[in-house]
Amino acid sequence: MIGIDFINDSKTVVVKINEEIDHHTCEKIKNKIDLAIEFRGARFLIFDFEGVNFMDSSGIGMVLGRY
């Protein structure tokens, strides 16, 4: 599950991920993040990986791609 929150007084998107990040889930996560950034006109992105217990190289690529 992925939760996306907004910080009200700035253009910041906070992404809380509570699932494994692998080649099966990357596309879904990437699409949700990209939509949130576009909708909000965000300039800053914060990832909360507290609930992630596994991430493969495609997950690292997804994170770097949001940069």
Task: List the domain range (segments joined by +) for residue 34.
Answer: 2-66
Average pLDDT, integer, range 50-59: 92
- Cα–Cα distances (Å) from 43 to 6, 34, 46, 48, 50, in that order, read 12, 12, 10, 17, 22
pLDDT above 90 coverage of the chain, percent: 36
pLDDT digits (tens, 9 = 90+) for 28-48: 899 989 988 888 888 888 898
DSSP assigned state of 8: T
Task: State the average pLDDT for the chain.
Answer: 86
What CATH number is given to the structural domain containing 7?
Answer: 3.30.750.24
Total domains present in the chain: 1
* Residue that wins the pLDDT comparison between 4 and 55: 55
Regarding pTM above 0.85, the answer is no
